[in-house]
Amino acid sequence: MNQELLRKLNNIVQVGTVTETKCDDGLALARVNILGRVTDFLPIVMISNSFIKVWMPVQVNEQVLVISPFGEANSGFIIPSIYHKANKEPKGSTSKNAIIQIGNVRFECNGESIKIDAKNFKLDIGNVSFECNEESIKIDAKNFKLDREGNLTITGRITDSLGDLTGHEHSVERHSIAVKRG
């Protein structure tokens, strides 16, 4: 086997470490150090089609796989995220759940429910906003309907645009349309 063919075969699949990315520029491109040689910027494989796009930027020092179908390292592409000692699987990973973890924010789905673990959470749907943190929930909507049978228990103060409603007793006799009792 000649040297050129052997070199190309050795370059088809290689493990390397990311040295630089263009992810902050919104581009799925990175350079990889493979055995002391740094590649040109190579495209990063991500899940994408006309229906869905998933953005998972690689990080500097992340271990990746470089695939070069024709044996030329600078004309390959990157398959990101090989789990290893410094980049372990998320806690609780099983064959029955999907976990997405970004920093300290974790999304977990088991096919029946979704759990989001985060210090702060915000959901915007059209003109409706739902925000919560470790101490409060804020819902900003033109109309709000709580439709559930059972009791509503509130501990703490109740206020509206007219002031404090805590301890408010409602009497129908003081209204312009009185309802007769009994």
Q: Give the CATH number of domain 3-79.
A: 2.40.50.230
d(CA 13, CA 73): 9
Can you give the residue ranges of every domain in the chain?
A: 3-79, 98-164
Measured in degrees and rounded to the nearest 5, phi and psi for residue 150 equal: 125, -165
Mean pLDDT confidence for 31-55 = 90
DSSP assignments along 116-167, one per residue: EE-S-EEEEETTEEEEE-SS-EEEE-S------SS-----S--EETTEE-TT
Render pLDDT for 111-140 as a digit per residue (tens, 0 to 9): 889 999 899 989 999 999 999 988 888 999
d(CA 63, CA 80): 7
Cα separation, 179 vs 182, whole angstroms: 10
pLDDT score for 178:
46
Residues forming a β-bridge with 168: none
Q: What is the pLDDT of residues 168-181, one digit of tens each?
A: 665 555 545 444 45
Q: What is the pLDDT of residue 176?
A: 52
20 strand-pairing partners? 31
pLDDT digit string, tens, across residues 56-80:
888 899 999 999 998 887 889 999 8
Which pair of tokens denotes residue 76?
């390959």
Give the per-residue pLDDT at 102.
83
pLDDT at 46 over 50: yes
The answer to whether the CB of 2 falls within 8 A of the CB of 9 is no
CA dihedral sign of residues 101, 106, 111, 114: negative
Q: What would the mean pLDDT of 80-104 be, rounded to a whole number?
A: 80
Task: Compute the average pLDDT of residues 72-98.
Answer: 81
In this structure, the dihedral spanned by the alpha carbons of residues 113, 129, 159 and 171, taken in order and rounded to 10 degrees, is -80
Band (83; pLDDT cuts 50, 70, 90): confident
Residues 6+ apart with CB under 8 A from 103: none
Strands (E), 68-127: 77-79, 98-102, 105-109, 114-117, 121-125
Residue of higher predicted confidence among 74 and 167: 74
